Copies of this chain bind each other. A is one copy, B any other.
Amino acid sequence: MAKQYDVIVIGGGPAGTAMASGLKAQGKSVLIVEADLWGGTCPNRGCDPKKILLSAVEAKQAATNLQSHGLAGIPKVDWPALMATKRGYTNGINDGTLNGLQAQKIETIHGQAYFQTDGQLTVDGEVVNGTDIVIATGQRPAILPIKGHEYFKTSTDFLDLDAMPKRVTFVGGGYVGFELATIARAAGAEVHLIHHNDRPLKEFDPELVKALMANLTTQGVTFDLDVDLKQITKTATGLTLSDGQGFKLDTDLVICSAGRLPNDDHLGLENVGVTVGRHGIQVNDHLQTAAAHIYAIGDVSDTPVPKLTPLAGYEARYLVGELVKSGAAITYPVVPTQVYASPKLAKVGVTAVQAAKAPTKYRISSLDMTKWFTYYRLQTPQALAKVVVDRQSGLIVGASCLSEIADEMINYLTLLIQKQISLSEMQKLVVAYPTPASDLQYLY
């Protein structure tokens, strides 16, 4: 007879494992199903490996910035050693995650889950029943359906390259393209980034994106804008990319970085009436799908927030509460997003573009911080910020930053925004000086 669980979680990534752990701690019987690597995208082929590779880039950039200003000599990226360091982390993720789940006495199955009826799944043929089912299957890189698309590699491949090819091209100017282009360039590759219009990173402030591109161009990245790639051809020595309108580029590796697709196919959702859209599985504000006992969280779920690891955990914690005792609709905090390029670009809350539409409500400060002490001492080529302040309350409600430490700044700013910390409160806080945090009072 098929085993019966209180909850079956499909997907063993950050969302699914947080869900399973939370439910188990609440006394629920839980089965978690994973078709690929336990741990999911983030630690295996996402944020974590990317940031390990970025460590070498950051240290190299820091030394580069200080040439003629206090350091002599620029270290080279040692790609095989860097990849070994990455693998030293990622190689342990699958087993470590699985062991962690089993140590919590959460049942696990490896295989492809498929909905038979509401409440019943098969996993590679084995039938399992769950009172509630939570889908947390994440996303995967999209592949543009052009001629020769079989030559596309993805971020997953890039993050596990044994050697850095001489010429690397990214197709698609989202955060993945910018981040991996930065890494490839620092590792010595000739890098192109192709984008179909002239506005990559469209959700970020246009002026800061332009400044980021200028910095990357100085570092040697070539941007091919307004190129609508049509074809990849294999040649004797590599690949040729073309748009059929005169653009031609020879390269050794082409990464499709044109967005990510929800893993909502192959699940048999049509059997249970769960509906999907372009941005994933449709859910209400209780993260419930069109089927009452089926929920979706994390990257696969069409929620009004960016697809980020901490939101996976956030949604899991909410849904654990819901499945124990249903309550209020989910609400989200302000969510910072960042591009780990060189320099880094980050934003949170109300953007300057949004604020400019309501000038009586918002004040926008455009700050060139390049000569501020914090950046002078690092000799960063450029440090910019746009800060949006609510005129009535005097509180910061949004910010964008471009600098080597934009991720640190955006975290502080997120705390200021979420906890509604005013300038006078900030001035009553004593933080270490001189640090990025001690600059905060100058951002209001």
- Smallest CB gap from A411: residue in B: B437
> Is A56 among interface residues, defined by CB-CB distance under 8 A?
yes
Q: How far is the CA of A55 from the CA of B62 in the complex (A)?
A: 9
Q: How far is the CA of A48 from the CA of B59 in the complex (A)?
A: 22
Residues of B within 8 A of A333 (CB): 428-430
> Is A193 among interface residues, defined by CB-CB distance under 8 A?
no
> Is A357 among interface residues, defined by CB-CB distance under 8 A?
no
Q: Are A74 and B73 in contact (CB under 8 A)?
A: yes
Q: Which of A42, A71, A311, A410 has the most CB of B within 10 A?
A: A71
> Is A391 among interface residues, defined by CB-CB distance under 8 A?
no
> Is A335 among interface residues, defined by CB-CB distance under 8 A?
yes
Q: How far is the CA of A333 from the CA of B42 in the complex (A)?
A: 38
Residues of B within 8 A of A60 (CB): 63, 71
Q: Of the 9-residue stretches A107-115, A119-127, A291-299, A375-383, which lies at the interface with chain B?
A: A375-383
The minimal Cβ–Cβ distance linking A120 to chain B, given in whole angstroms, is 33
Q: How far is the CA of A310 from the CA of B431 in the complex (A)?
A: 7
> Is A435 among interface residues, defined by CB-CB distance under 8 A?
yes
- Smallest CB gap from A306: residue in B: B430
Q: How far is the CA of A379 from the CA of B82 in the complex (A)?
A: 11
Number of interface residues of A (CB under 8 A): 75
Q: Of the 9-residue stretches A29-37, A209-217, A268-276, A414-422, which lies at the interface with chain B?
A: A414-422
- 8 Å CB contact of A430 from B72, B89, B336: B336
**With A59-B63, A408-B408 in contact, is A430–B71 under 8 Å at CB?**
no
Q: How far is the CA of A415 from the CA of B432 in the complex (A)?
A: 11
Q: How far is the CA of A211 from the CA of B47 in the complex (A)?
A: 31
> Is A202 among interface residues, defined by CB-CB distance under 8 A?
no
Q: Are B56 and A66 in contact (CB under 8 A)?
A: yes
Q: Are B66 and A71 in contact (CB under 8 A)?
A: no
> Is A69 among interface residues, defined by CB-CB distance under 8 A?
yes
Q: Which of A74, A376, A435 has the most CB of B within 10 A?
A: A435
Question: Residues on A close to B: CB < 8 A?
Answer: 42, 47-48, 51-56, 58-60, 62-63, 65-66, 68-79, 81-82, 84-85, 89, 308-311, 313-314, 317, 332-338, 346, 373, 376-379, 407-408, 410-412, 414-415, 418-419, 421, 427-438
Besides the contacts A62-B63, A314-B430, what 7 more A-B pairs have beta carbons closer than 8 Å? A51-B373, A70-B79, A71-B75, A73-B76, A313-B427, A415-B415, A415-B431
